[in-house]
Each structure stands twice: as structure tokens, then as C-alpha cells.
Structure 1
Amino acid sequence: MSEPEKHLSRTLDPRSLRGLAHPLRIQLLRALRRYGPATASQLAERLGESSGATSYHLRQLATVGFVEDDPTRGKGRERWWKAAQQGTALDETLHKNPDPEVQGAIEVLLFEVATTHTQEMNTYLGTRHDWDETWHSASDMSDFTLRLPAAKLRELNEKLHELIDTYRDTADADAPGAERVRLHLHAFPQQED
């Protein structure tokens, strides 16, 4: 994968959103992005699903351009799949789309993302004793409460994303002791009591 393609992100439109918004499709795409190319059978084993189900949903993802064949792998009838992009963004205009299918698809997508974040955090907490002490003090589970108008929250999110991007492709990624790090950011309004 060339450097410009490395972090290619796709902005969802109504068609691609509806094509992605299925729990197994979201899991399949996440697995391909995280672990790299795989066959439907390999993905079925990883996710605890049938190869028929993974094969069907991979083909559905391919029709809307989230996955594609990996021609550098496989022999004969063995079909290898790879993620077509490494990220997904939700176009904010989708929240205003009056189509109930679009609104339902947004709900499925957001719920699956939140579930994945919770699972990842719980996995870390359950295995943190396996990590060296330096990782304990480097990890973070902070939360903050601010009073901001929506425009300021947007500005804060944009600045945080810009800062994270400066760490994305550093030479430190190849440094001794470098590990894959997941960073979750959640920012949302909350009713006051």
C-alpha cells in the first residue's frame, strides 16, 4: 500500500451507509482493516460465524466498494479480500436525511462503533497485567466535562484530530517497544440534572 493510500478514509453517503450498516459487515470490515487480507473462511473462524454468512456479507460490502479482491493472494477458487479504505467518516448531512432507512442505518453504525469501543477497553482492562508497567502509566482513561456551544465542540474535535494526525506516521512507529495503540474520543452533549 503506498503512503498516500495508507490512511485513505471514505465518507459515507446514503447508499454506502445502508450497505455497511449491518453488525457482521461492520465486524468484517474492521477485521480486514485491523488484520489485513483474509478469506471468507478465515474471517468466519475469527468472528465465530459461518463461512456462508461471511462470504455473502463480503460480497455485499464489495458491491458498495468497502472491500475488494486481493489479487496478490490465493490459488484457484480461494478468494482473498482486503479493505478498500482504512477509515470511514459519517457525512454530517446524513443526520438530516429524512429517509427512515438512512436514520436506521446511522443508529446501527453508531451502536456498533460504541460496542466495539467498549469491547476494546474491556479487553485492555482485562489484560493490562500482561503489559509492562510503562504502558500502565502511559495509558489513559480520562473524562472531562466542559460547557461549550456546538461550534466550540466542533473546533475542539477538529484540533484533536489534527493533533492525532501528527502522531500517525511518525518514525516512532518502528521504534523498539512501539505497539499498536487505540485511541477513542467521545464527545457529546449531556443533559444537566
Structure 2
Amino acid sequence: MPDTPVRETVLSDPRALRAYAHPTRMRLVGMLRREGPSTATRAAELIGESVASCSYHLRMLAKYGLVEQAGGGQGREKPWRAVAKYTSWPAHSDDTAVDEAAVALSTTVAELYFERLTRAMEQRHRLPREWREAEEFGDHQLYLTAGELVELRERIRELLGAYDGRNDDPALRPEGARIVEFLRIAHVAPEDAL
């Protein structure tokens, strides 16, 4: 087993897509990426689920190659780790089963983002002023071609990539750095949008 996770796992099997489209499983993978290897017991403490639930979901994630045992420990005290830093899936597939499963997964991710954003907004009054002023909450409506949208997406990814190393190496984090969730969402406006 490698010590450092691969950069990305690409899901294309509809069963794997549907398996990952479960909020508890997404929280577990996110927790393992952020905290590093953890047992089902520790995971249960961190995400607020039962140990039995975490054990079950970790085994399901392992079945589809999203997590693996990290070595050491016994029984429920065996640590698990995320296989990759990121998970991606097709934005479109000619295979109807893959396309439908990818839409279901994307919908679950959007719901989790909204839930996390809502909690952040509710708790933001606790942040120091400098952090409240640094946060951004807004939108842009742009007339773009599909090619321009791809170019813009790649430029934003490049900008964000300059900070990626800090996730793996705490020595690269400047004093006062905190985890910031930067959502990237770009979609064609629905025809009935005002």
C-alpha cells in the first residue's frame, strides 16, 4: 500500500457512482482525506455516526476502491485511509446507467455543499472580523461559449493548485492558515431562471 494517496480516483462504474452517492460515505472519505488514517471508532466520533455504521460504509467504500486499510490495528480498530486526494466522475456519458448515476452523485454532492455552506453562514458570526471580510459570497452571470467556460475552469484550477501542497505538508502552511472550502460551480442557467 502506498504511503501517499494517488491524486485522483475516477469513478465510471454506475454501481461505484451510486455507492459513493451516500452522504455518510462522502463524509467518511472527506474525513480520511483531511485527518489521515482513522479507525471506524475515531471516524464515528468525528462525523457523528455509530461505529457499526462507519464500519459498514468503510467496507462499502473499500469495495469500490475509494478507501483501503492502512495497516495495523485489530477488528474495528483497524485504520482506514483514502486511496486518493480527489474523486471525479464523468460529466456526461453515452451509457444511460453511468449518466444517471453520475447525476445522482452530483446532486448528492450539491446537497452536501449547500448543507455545509448553510452551517458556515450560521456560524460565521464567531469568526474574527478579518476572516468575515476575507470570505466571499457572490455570483457572476457571464455569456460564455463552452470552450471559454473550459478555459476559465482550467485557469481557476491553476490558481488554486498553487496552494495544494499545503494540504499534505503542514510545514508549508503560513501561521494563521485555516481550512477554507472554495466551491467551484459553473452551470448553464436554467431557461426559467430570472
TM-score normalised to the size of structure 1?
A: 0.83
Instruction: Give me the CA root mean square deviation.
Output: 2.5
Tell me the distance in 2 between the aligned counterparts of 1:173 and 1:182. 18
Shift of 1:7: 6.8
- What is the DSSP-based 3-state SS (H/G/I as helix, E as strand, rest coil) of the residue aligned with 1:96? coil
Number of residues paired by the alignment?
186
Shift of 1:186: 1.0
Instruction: Name the residue aligned to 1:122.
Output: 118
Q: 5 Å matches for 1:45-124? A: 45-71=45-71, 73-74=72-73, 76-77=74-75, 78-92=77-91, 94-99=92-97, 102-124=98-120
5+ residue gaps, structure 1: none
Note if contact 1:67-1:82 (Cα within 8 Å) is conserved in structure 2: yes
Shift of 1:95: 3.3
Show structure 1 runs of 4+ deviating over 4 A: 170-173
Instruction: Name the residue aligned to 2:149.
Output: 153
CA displacement 1:111-148 (0-9 Å, x = unmatched): 22112211222222222222221112211112000111
- What is the DSSP-based 3-state SS (H/G/I as helix, E as strand, rest coil) of the residue aligned with 1:10? strand
TM-score normalised to the size of structure 2?
A: 0.82
Shift of 1:173: 4.3
Tell me the distance in 1 between the aligned counterparts of 2:183 and 2:65. 26
Structure 2 CA distance for partners of 1:6 and 1:176, relative to 1, 3 Å: farther
Instruction: Name the residue aligned to 1:34.
Output: 34
Note if contact 1:22-1:108 (Cα within 8 Å) is conserved in structure 2: no
Structure 2 CA distance for partners of 1:153 and 1:136, relative to 1, 3 Å: same
Tell me the distance in 1 between the aligned counterparts of 2:187 and 2:34. 27
User: How many percent of aligned residue pairs carry the same amino acid?
Assistant: 32
1:188 maps onto 2:184 in alignment: no
Shift of 1:172: 8.8
5+ residue gaps, structure 2: none
Note if contact 2:38-2:81 (Cα within 8 Å) is conserved in structure 1: yes
- What is the DSSP-based 3-state SS (H/G/I as helix, E as strand, rest coil) of the residue aligned with 1:167? coil
Shift of 1:157: 0.8
